Structures are given as C-alpha cells and as structure tokens.
Amino acid sequence: MGQLGRYEILEELGRGSMGIVYKANDPLIGRQVAIKAINLHGLDPKKREEYEARFYLEAKAAGSLNHPNIVTIHDLGESGDTAYIAMELLEGRELHNDVDEMERMPFEKVLNIAIQVTDGLAFAHEHGIVHRDIKPSNIMLLNDSHVKIADFGIAKMDTSLMLTRTGMIMGSPLYMSPEQVLSSSIDARSDIFSFGIVLYQLLTGRRPFSGDDANSVMYQIVNEAPHKPSSLNSKLPEMMDNIVLKCLAKKPQDRYQNAKDLGDDLRACLQKLTDEKTALEHPVMFSMEWRRVKRLAIPGAMSQTMVAITALAAIMLIVLLDALTDETIQVHLLYIFPLVLVSFHSQEMRLVYTTVILSLLFQGVSIVGYSGLPPFSQFVLAMLVLLSNVLIAYVARIARTNFLEVGHLATFDGLTGLRNRLSFESLVEMEIARQKRNGGTFSFAFIDIDNLRELNSAMGFQTGDDAIKLLANILRDHIRQTDTVARLGGDEFAILMPNTEALGCQQFCTELSVKISTLMKKAALPISTSIGYVTVDHPPGSISEVFNRAESAMHVAQSGGKGGATRG
C-alpha cells in the first residue's frame, strides 16, 4: 500500500478522530506494528503546529508508560505531511464489540477485565498521565483475555500545558466525567468516573446515562444519579453496587481517589465471589442435598429469580394446603418459610414487601373464612398474624445485614493476613462515628515502601512479597492488635490507633520506623520506608480527609521533611 518512513504499510485497520491506523511492517527488526498517522496537508501553519505538538505530546506521554496493561509505543516520526506513531500490534478486539452484544458478560469475566484496566490506569496516574478518553473502544481485549488500554491520544502530562482552545471539551460525550462536561480542572479521578460508566455498561448491558443526543447525556452526567446496577442485573452483589456508584459520584472528592484503591475493591469482590463459589462447591458434606441446604444459610447464594419463584411457589402450596386441611391455624406457621427466605436472600426490599403483603392477604382471607371463630377472636388472630409476619421479615432482614457486615469486616488480605482496604475503611468510619458521638482523639498513619517497584524489578516479585510479609509481621507484633492494621495497596499500609494522642502517635511511629529498618537489614532486604501520621481531634468531613492528611504527611517524609513524618 505504500511507505511511511521506514515502515511498509500493509493494510488499513481503522480511522479515528486523531487519524488513520495502519498495519505495517518494520523491516529494520522484522516485526509487524500498528501505525497511527495524521495527515497535516492543507493545514495553515498555526493549526499544523498545534496538531503536531498534540500528536507528539501523545507519543511522549504514552511512550513513557511501560506496563502490561498499556499499549507499548515503539517509535514516532514524520514523513512529508504525515506525522506517525508506531506501536505494538494487538491481536484481539475492542471491548465495545462485547458491550454491544445482547447478552451481558459473565460477572467474573467483567471483574477480571476491570482489575486489569485499573492496574493500567493506576500506573499511568502514578506517572502523572490522565487518559481523558476511557471508553470501550479504547480498551483492547486480547485473545488470551489479557487487557490493554489504547490511545492516550488526549492524555495530559501534569507538567505540560494543554495545547487546545480554552473551554474545549476533550473526550467522548457518552463517557465524560462531570468535570469534562463543565470544562473544569481534570485529574485522575475523571478517568475513574469514565471507567465507572464502562463498568456499569459491562455489568448491566446499559449505560448509566443515556438520551437522544449528546446534550441530554451530558446533562444527566452532571445532574442525575444513576440507578443501582443491581436494579438492572439482580445477580450483582451489593458490594458491586457500592463500587460502581462510588466511581460515578458527581464530586471528585466522593469518588475513589486513585485507581489503585478501586482495583483493591474489585479484587476483594472477586475474592469474595471465589470464596462463595468454593464454599458452595466444597461443603463439609459433599452431597447435593447439603449444598442445597447450605445455600439457604448464605445471603445472596441463591439467585434473585430463584428466591422469588421459590417464595411464590411456597405461598401457593400453603394456600392449597390450607384449602385441603382442617388444621388451618397451624398452616399459618408455614408462612414463616417464604418470609424468611425472601427477607434473608433478596437484594430488593420491594420483593420483601410484596411477599409480606401477599402472605397477609392470603392469611386474611383464611381468617375471615373461619366459621367457628367469633369476630373478636378473628380480629385478635388477624393482629397476631400481622405483627408476627412483620416481625419475622424484620428479624430476617437484620440477620442478613449483620451476616453481610460481619463478612465485610472479616475480609483479610491473602498475602499479609491483615485486613484489606474495604474492611479497614469500615473500621475507620466506625471510629469517626464514635468520635462524632463521644468526642476524643484518634491517630492514623500511612507506611509506604519507597522502593518496592525497584526491588521487584531488580530481584523479582517474590523478594518484594517477602518484604511486604515481613513488614506485616512487624506491624502485627509491634502494636499487638491485628484488627487495627490494613494493607491498602501494593506498597502502602495504614494503621488506625484509637484513643491515641499526638505524642503517643509520634513515639509509636518513631519506634516502628527503627524496628522496620533493623529487621529489614537482618533479613538482607534493601527496603526503605516512609511513615506519615496525623492525630484527628475533631470529626473530619469524610474518611477521605483522614487518608489525604496522612498521605500528605507521608509525602513530607519521602522528601526528608519533619512534622508528622519519619523515614526508615
């Protein structure tokens, strides 16, 4: 088809807003690449300079990212009136081919894709690069289910100036964040919002914001709250609703503050799904009957459709039995089963209300039909039935909530044995709530392994894991309260210290820093750490405020500063 620089063009792969993508051969090293080209012919000098600058800014930004979940940039250049970027050629398809299909993607597959995307975004954000156009067509799903983020075409280096007109909206309207729609300041949290739209679409088959034109969609993005994903896909757990809706919060400060935290929550959700599947497939007794019985004791282990069908069938069977037997008073006790079943397993309260009303209706008809009871006795019996039905549903609902909360608080990180981020955040929120009620003080610390990535690169991930596990053991032994520590990410830990004043917190962190340095040297692990800590004596506005204050103190430690920070 022709030549572009040293590359032999083989075929056209597609066209986009920034230019044409070709499949090409690189004769220098004998490999095939994808070439993204933009034709600058006919542009006036000023516009051409602007286009060239944006094009090379894209290459510079994307070329600095070397990550398994980001498309690799090999080369850039200019040939005549065409500027081009050579990148790896991917064998796979764009994700929009999957979200456009009629059937929803399996939940576990969605989680695996989402985790890989967040890993790539986290890496880019840590290097100061915001994608600004996350959408299904920029997410590549390779043949081995590996995911790569493509086209950092409107990415922004934090240290660079955007070379676009003032007020120019960057991104795809259907997947924009509120900040993009309003032409406000953009940061990594904008990518999290856009990916929240993609995630919603993968889980439900629909976008959370839709309309007849781009303006109506953008209005909804800024002003309207989306429905819970589980309202469109009843198989989704409550945890997934919380994750997606947190991504789609209108205010950036209410969203995940970084993609790493989002990835941690997605991994926790996947781990919970795996644990539940394992628990159901490998119970203590290996009979099919036991597996069926065990489903009754685990909230959400039964599908919502199965819950509704079973409850309705049970009610109809009880009505039939009531009509065929004279033991009508005793039959009322059987309504306990559908009421408990629905209240314990249903994600939707409307199904609980429907079951209670249906049960009361049939029981009321039955009571009115009692010929041997005087009116006053019928009234008393009706009141007892009403109160018992409501009480049974309420108690079963409370049991469901407590069961899920206990499971939520009992989740631990598999590598360190410490509480994971979801569990830890719940404990911090409880501490903040106690402070709002009773006053008092608590302290909070961040521990960062400064050189974990370099250690992984030089000595392998096993060495890095050993360092993390050793640090986790030090934390457990030093504070003797494993439930007040959490691993927040790949190289960060956090410590919650209830009823700890500033002086006690400073002393604790200083001793901890010394102990970490000593034991790391004994273990021949070249690890350096930074500890940032804060004391909270007034109720914060949100949990994010506590995390941000401690993280800022940690950055002070990394820069060698003093005050709420130490290095080891």
Higher pLDDT, 477 or 199: 199
Averaged confidence pLDDT in the chain: 79
pLDDT category of residue 414 using cuts at 50, 70 and 90: low
Q: Which of 156-160, 196-200, 374-378 has the highest mean pLDDT?
A: 196-200
Q: Which of 133, 151, 261, 413 is catalytic?
A: 133
Residue 133 falls in the annotated catalytic set: yes
Split at pLDDT 50, 70, 90, the class of 268 is confident
CA distance 246 to 263: 13
The per-residue DSSP string of 464-511 comes to: HHHHHHHHHHHHHHHHS-GGGEEE-SSSEEEEEEET--HHHHHHHHHH
Question: Highest mean pLDDT range out of 101-105, 273-277, 322-326?
Answer: 322-326
CA distances from 542 to 464, 501, 533, 536 (A): 33, 20, 17, 12
The whole-number pLDDT of residue 77 equals 81
- For 135-179, how does the pLDDT look when each residue is reduced to its tens digit (9 = 90+)? 988 898 887 778 999 876 544 433 333 333 333 444 578 899 999
Write the burial class of residue 534 (CB in 10 Å: 0-12 exposed, 13-18 middle, 19+ buried): buried
Contact, 80 vs 110, CB < 8 A? no
Flag whether pLDDT at 564 surpasses 70: no
Single-letter amino acid code for the residue at 452: L
List CB contacts of 520: < 8 A, sequence separation 6 or more.
Answer: 467, 470, 526, 527
Q: What is the pLDDT of residues 232-262, one digit of tens each?
A: 888 888 889 999 999 999 999 999 999 999 9
pLDDT at 408 over 80: no
Question: If pLDDT is split at 50, 70 and 90, which confidence band does 80 have?
Answer: confident
Beta bridge mates, 529: 449
Q: Which residues contact 404 (CB under 8 A, 6 or more apart)?
A: 238, 299
Residue 154 pLDDT: 47
Give CA–CA dist 71/196, Å, rounded.
21
* 420 CB burial (10 A radius; 0-12, 13-18, 19+): buried
Q: Phi-psi region for residue 43, left (φ > 0), alpha (ψ -120 to 50) or beta?
A: beta
Report the alpha-carbon distance of residue 262 to residue 250 in Å, rounded: 16
